[in-house]
Structure 1
Amino acid sequence: MRLFPFLIALFLAAPLRAETIEIDFEMEGLPRSFELTIPEGLDGPAPMILALHGLLETGTSMRKRVTRDRFDAIAKTYGVVVAYPSAFTRVWNLGEGIGAERIIPRRDDIAFLERVIETVRARVEIDPDRIFAAGFSQGGIMSFALACKNPGLIRAVGSVAMALPEGLAEDCARHPPDGVLLIHGSEDWVVPIEGGAIVSGPGATMDLMGHDRSVEFFRLIKGCEGPGETRSWDAVDDGTVVTRQAWYDCAVGAVEGYNVEGMGHRWPLGGPLLPFSQVIGKTTREIDGASAAWSFFSRFP
């Protein structure tokens, strides 16, 4: 299995050193910020990952608690620059639609994420063809929106605990990223794996495709034929089983879909989402979400 050698290499490779700094600026009259992890001794343009947190979280909690510093470990080992933006009031806003109109104060977080990328590129030499977005929950929506509304900006997207919103289907059909990775738990009641309506703002909802339909949507758009490669993980006695279906021989790019039987609204191998962990279900220890994302992103040289 391709993922297991990658995990071994990740934790046995001699790590580089890395510096994490906080960058603050004002935008739309609001204070905005993000954390940025930069490995030392970068040789040439570096790949970049935007790690986008979920509802009521922050860039710091995405880095330290949700992903347990594993994106930073990837940064140090593989020379990847990782940015952890924070949503204002811990709630992302697409900047359009009824839900966005009712979120106060009004702001455009797609424009904010574009600004984050511009700010990073002004500080570090970034490979413009290797900018990736990995989002958890509401951060997954922002990852899809950023990629599909900005053709060529985001090479590949990894979405955990979030399917494709129906409202982004047209944009993503016209301008899909080269790669799409989706990971979802079968026991996720916050964002059900079957899809349907979720809250998108005060008195507003957003319709989601669901995990299987989202995978199929991108498989067809990317020209991925056949049933794909199927692998399963059940090596740890944690009450979860992971099944991955993947298409790598597509007309353009690649698609991966992970169905995690028994996992709730969680990041794989992620830390607790205090104070909600007991309510939103358990994570899986069969895979590491950050490593799965980088293993997929690394397919795009």
Structure 2
Amino acid sequence: MDDEGLIAALIDRFRQRHGIDPGRVFVTGFSNGGQMAFRLAARTPERIAGIAAIGAGLPTPDQWEGSGPKHPMPVLLIAGTRDPIMPYEGGEASVFGFQKRGTVRSAEATARAFAEVNGITEPPVSWPPTPSPDGSGGFDESGDFEGPLVIETRYTQRGKEPVVAFAVRGGGHTIPNPDYRFPRLMGRTDDTLDAPAVIWAFFAEASQTDGPVIP
């Protein structure tokens, strides 16, 4: 399937029929969709103004058919530390240990890779974990995780495109949100981070800067 061609055709169609601004095209995806966002950032950066990926890690260099991302753009990442499909610490991605899908970088290495592409040399700044509103966040007496905690890490530098990474401690292969719960098989669904709202705000801020230009 020519996924890249389909998305390019959709952008052109929306441009012709609805007059969208081709310099304000953003891509977000979950799981395989996140991997597609990475692929588009790497192979069609002239069409994409920024990406957001949930539950996806950058493939290791040996997994790329071509080169990885090289064009600076705003990037937002969200990853659960107990994702049963996409390993937070990197390694073999699989469907619950079966149907291996190739190796990926860790969530932190993924964020660092995009920060490097964006030319960011200053150290990232992280916000410490925050307990959930009902007080369930934290660790029990045995040291096991109890309740969702979210850490936000920002890679920023004046004049450079930002990279923002959310680590959902104890989160599974899910989209954090306050309204819907993914099946338990996928792991914990965090309700303290509203991923769609965060992504929308991130793209809205990024859209205030100059995006790619399609001739």
Q: TM-score range by the shorter chain?
A: 0.7 to 0.9
* Residue among 189, 194, 198 paired with 1:292: 198
Q: CA separation in 2, counterparts of 1:283 and 1:204?
A: 23
Query: 2:83, 2:172 within 8 Å by CA — same for their partners in 1?
Result: yes
| 2:103 pairs with 1:207 | yes
Report % sequence identity: 28
Q: 1:264 to 1:199 in 2, by over 3 A?
A: closer
Q: CA separation in 2, counterparts of 1:143 and 1:173?
A: 10
Aligned residues: 190
Q: 1:250 to 1:170 in 2, by over 3 A?
A: farther
Alignment-derived partner of residue 161 in structure 1:
55
Q: 1:162 to 1:180 in 2, by over 3 A?
A: same
> Is the deviation greater in 287-296 or in 117-126?
117-126
| 2:99 pairs with 1:192 | no
Q: Give the letter for the 2:205 counterpart.
A: R
Query: 1:145, 1:168 within 8 Å by CA — same for their partners in 2?
Result: no
Q: Tell me the TM-score normalised to structure 1 length.
A: 0.58
Render the CA deviation track for 1:240-288: whole Å, top value 9, x for unaligned: 0000011232553110011110111100116244xxx111112111111
Query: 1:241, 1:261 within 8 Å by CA — same for their partners in 2?
Result: yes
* Residue among 106, 112, 117 paired with 2:11: 117
Alignment-derived partner of residue 271 in structure 1:
180
How well do the aligned residues superpose, as a CA RMSD in angstroms? 2.3
| 2:131 pairs with 1:234 | yes
Render the CA deviation track for 1:120-155: whole Å, top value 9, x for unaligned: 222212111211011001100011111210122111
How far is the alpha carbon of 1:204 from its aligned partner? 6.2
SS at match of 1:172: coil
Render the CA deviation track for 1:67-102: whole Å, top value 9, x for unaligned: xxxxxxxxxxxxxxxxxxxxxxxxxxxxxxxxxxxx
Q: CA separation in 1, counterparts of 2:16 and 2:48?
A: 17
Q: 1:242 to 1:190 in 2, by over 3 A?
A: same
Q: 1:121 to 1:284 in 2, by over 3 A?
A: same
Q: Tell me the TM-score normalised to structure 2 length.
A: 0.79
| 2:43 pairs with 1:142 | no
Unaligned runs of 5+ in 2: 137-146, 209-215
Q: CA separation in 2, counterparts of 1:169 and 1:224?
A: 26
